Amino acid sequence: MRRVHKRVMVIVSPALARSVSRSARRAAFGLVALVLASCAPVSAYQRGALANPTMAPTDLAGPAEEHTRAVQEGAIGGAFGAGGGCGCN
Amino acid sequence: MRLQLKAGLARVASLFAIGSLVLALGGVARAQPPPDEAPAEAPAEVASPATAAAGNESAPARRYVVRASSEVGGYADTDHVFVVTPTVAGSVADPVAGWSVDGRYLVDVVSAASVDIVSTASRRWEEVRHAGTLGGTYKPGSFGVSVNGAGSFEPDYTSLAGGVLLTQDLLDKQLTLLGGYDYGHDVAGRSGTPFSVFSRTIDRHGVKAGASLVMSRSTLATALVDAVFEAGDSSKPYRYISMFAPGTDVARGASIDTVNALRLAERPLEQLPLSRNRYALTLRLAHRFSASTLRLDERLYHDTWGIEATSTDARFLVDVSPRLQLGPHVRVHAQTPVDFWQRVYVVGPGYDFPALRTGDRELGPLVNLTAGGTLRVGIGSSAAPRSWLVGFDVNLTSTQYLDDLYVTHRLSVVSAIMLEAEL
């Protein structure tokens, strides 16, 4: 495991990290622009597929998965009511 | 290490952007109806929310949609933490009038003998948490308002939260804008000690804004920005931090015995900063194929403690038959550590402890890889096979802790069995 970790550290240099970060920001801006520009009119009668429950705009994770995620990832935001009095994790 | 992880995060974000681009282009291309397609022939495609939710577009629509569900979730990991979570939930909706109310109640039964507990010579720890949510939505037209409340209660931790969410449909429901505010108030104490003797409060203000865009008849894109401003001391009153003399080298993943042999006798409690601002951008793309749905989520996160993270989530839900749905799921989460993260905290001159210190490995650098899936079986009548659903979810997560004492890897499994009915 230590060998794998070392290899990851060697492969990615700080300069490359900055460069990739800039590219990611550009890609994100490009994506937003594309999304806004590609808004095609869809009539009400054409929205049957969009009404499928699997197309819900909200997260589909169930309560157990959601709670596990809130505990295992230090980057959850707005997860009110997560609790966590213990020091077990 | 921070920069190396950032590069990984950026790479994942770029991949997601490229994937989204391809899907968006495909969706836009399909959005244009063939010239010979007449609207008069199309109403058969339209499904009311009630019938669509039941997974049967031929069933007659009823005024009230009453749903109830029950779920039993289980969690286990290689760090000897076990959780059982039974949940009940219900909702009533009137799609015509545009209102709905829903509620959920769950109990977490936790049993833990993790390395953090064992390293402080404590016994197996057990606790029960009760949590519930209540919500309501009223959207008679293009404008909607939702309110929600949540509470979570443990012997040593209470959390109460509430919020409001406003939505506005625009451009003939092609675009939906949303904005919301949440407030949360937590009280943290110590088990066996009344809150009046020892307690800390944590207040959270959360704001969010977003938009959901119908890109084509089968593609929906959602973007959400959220910010949470926390104030209070969220340091765990049970978490003791090992301290070392200057120059001590402790290997990643060092055992309890090794750490005990190398550390100093003093072990101060964890101390975290007293405020934290979190910012996140979530992008979600859902595309419906003829009998399947592909969902791609990307969440980019930054907070003032120094964590930067990416969470990429993909689900492919396949309607194998009118009664059977399968949904493979993968998720990758990677994060940099908080600014004050150290595997080896060193005592300064004059026995000064570092002002900020933590042993919470979820605040350290880590990578989570999750793979799993869902299974839904419709057991309703032939007219509405999915009005009663039996479901099974399982997700296996491999966590690599990149700079921690005691643990370098954890394998965990979370599973759930659920029953859902439209009454």
Taking residues A19-40, report their average pLDDT. 72
Provide the pLDDT for residue B349: 83
Provide the pLDDT for residue B112: 83
Give the pairing type, strands B157-170 and B99-112: unpaired
pLDDT bucket at B227, cuts 50 / 70 / 90:
very high
- Pick the residue from chain A with its C-alpha nearest to B319: A54
Q: Do B280 and A77 touch (CB under 8 A)?
A: yes
The neighbouring-strand residues paired with B278 are: B228, B303
Note the pLDDT tens digit of each residue in B179-215. Answer: 999 999 999 998 889 999 999 999 999 999 999 999 8
Q: Given CA atoms A43, A49, A53, A54 in this order, what sign does their dihedral have?
A: negative
Distance from CA of B159 to the nearest CA of A (A): 5
pLDDT bucket at A81, cuts 50 / 70 / 90:
very low
Answer for the pair B416, B393: CB distance below 8 angstroms, yes or no: yes
| pTM for this model (two decimals) | 0.80
C-alpha span between B372 and B398 (Å, rounded)? 12
> Angle, nearest 10°, between helix axes B2-31 and A14-37?
20
Query: For residue B255, what are its two tokens?
Result: 């055992």
Does the beta carbon of B278 lie under 8 angstroms from any beta carbon of chain A? yes
Complex confidence, ipTM: 0.75
Give the pairing type, strands B345-346 and B243-244: parallel
- C-alpha distances out from residue A56 to B29, B243, B378, Å: 22, 49, 19
Question: Where residue B83 sits, what CATH number does that domain have?
Answer: 2.40.160.40
pLDDT bucket at A32, cuts 50 / 70 / 90:
low
Q: Do A1 and B408 touch (CB under 8 A)?
A: yes
C-alpha span between A40 and B376 (Å, rounded)? 33
Distance from CA of B313 to the nearest CA of A (A): 10
**What is the total count of domains within chain B?**
1
End-to-end Cα, chain B, rounded Å: 54
Provide the pLDDT for residue B121: 66
Taking residues B282-301, report their average pLDDT. 95
Distance from CA of A24 to the nearest CA of B (A): 5
Does the beta carbon of B211 lie under 8 angstroms from any beta carbon of chain A? no
Pick from B39, B152, B284: CB nearest A57:
B284
Three-class SS string for B210-229? Answer: EEEEEEECCEEEEEEEEEEE
Asked whether residue A89 carries a pLDDT value surpassing 80, the answer given is no
Note the pLDDT tens digit of each residue in B2-16. Answer: 444 445 444 544 444
- Pick the residue from chain B with its C-alpha nearest to A24: B14
Distance from CA of B328 to the nearest CA of A (A): 13
Taking residues B271-293, report their average pLDDT. 95
pLDDT bucket at A63, cuts 50 / 70 / 90:
confident
Distance from CA of B114 to the nearest CA of A (A): 6
Q: What's A57's DSSP letter?
A: S
Does the beta carbon of B127 lie under 8 angstroms from any beta carbon of chain A? yes
pLDDT bucket at B220, cuts 50 / 70 / 90:
very high
Provide the pLDDT for residue A18: 64
Provide the pLDDT for residue B259: 95
Provide the pLDDT for residue B117: 72
Q: Which residues between 396 and 415 in chain B have a beta carbon less than 8 angstroms from any beta carbon of chain A?
A: 397, 399-400, 402, 408-409, 412, 414-415
Pick from B112, B208, B309: CB nearest A88:
B112
**Nearest C-alpha neighbor of B131 from the set B155, B162, B159:** B159
Q: Do B359 and A87 touch (CB under 8 A)?
A: yes
Answer for the pair B382, B392: CB distance below 8 angstroms, yes or no: no
C-alpha span between B16 and B296 (Å, rounded)? 8
Q: Do B49 and A16 touch (CB under 8 A)?
A: no
Least confident of B73-87, B112-126, B326-340: B112-126
Note the pLDDT tens digit of each residue in B385-413. Answer: 999 999 999 999 999 999 999 999 999 99
C-alpha span between B359 and A51 (Å, rounded)? 46
Residues of chain B contacting residue A84, judged by C-beta atoms under 8 Å apart? 157, 236
Note the pLDDT tens digit of each residue in B16-73. Answer: 444 444 444 444 333 344 333 433 333 333 333 334 444 444 455 678 999 999 999 9
Task: Tell me the percentage of chain B whose pLDDT exceeds 70.
Answer: 85
C-alpha span between B5 and B82 (Å, rounded)? 30
pLDDT bucket at A16, cuts 50 / 70 / 90:
low
Provide the pLDDT for residue B20: 44
Give the pairing type, strands B200-216 and B308-321: unpaired
Residue B338 belongs to what domain range? 2-422
Taking residues A15-39, report their average pLDDT. 69
Q: Do A83 and B161 touch (CB under 8 A)?
A: no
Does the beta carbon of B93 lie under 8 angstroms from any beta carbon of chain A? no
C-alpha span between B339 and B405 (Å, rounded)? 17
**Between residues B29 and B364, which one has the greater pLDDT?**
B364
C-alpha span between B362 and B77 (Å, rounded)? 15
Note the pLDDT tens digit of each residue in B113-161. Answer: 777 777 776 667 788 999 999 999 999 999 999 999 999 999 889 999 9
**Nearest C-alpha neighbor of B187 from the set B171, B211, B203:** B203
Distance from CA of A3 to the nearest CA of B (A): 12
Secondary structure element (H or E) that encloses residue A52, with its range: none
C-alpha span between A76 and A84 (Å, rounded)? 13
**Between residues B22 and A75, which one has the greater pLDDT?**
A75
C-alpha span between B298 and B13 (Å, rounded)? 7
Q: Do A40 and B125 touch (CB under 8 A)?
A: no
Provide the pLDDT for residue A38: 65
Q: What's A44's DSSP letter?
A: G
Q: Do A60 and B295 touch (CB under 8 A)?
A: yes
Least confident of A45-49, B36-40, B75-79, B340-344: B36-40
Does the beta carbon of B46 lie under 8 angstroms from any beta carbon of chain A? yes
Q: Do B152 and A17 touch (CB under 8 A)?
A: no
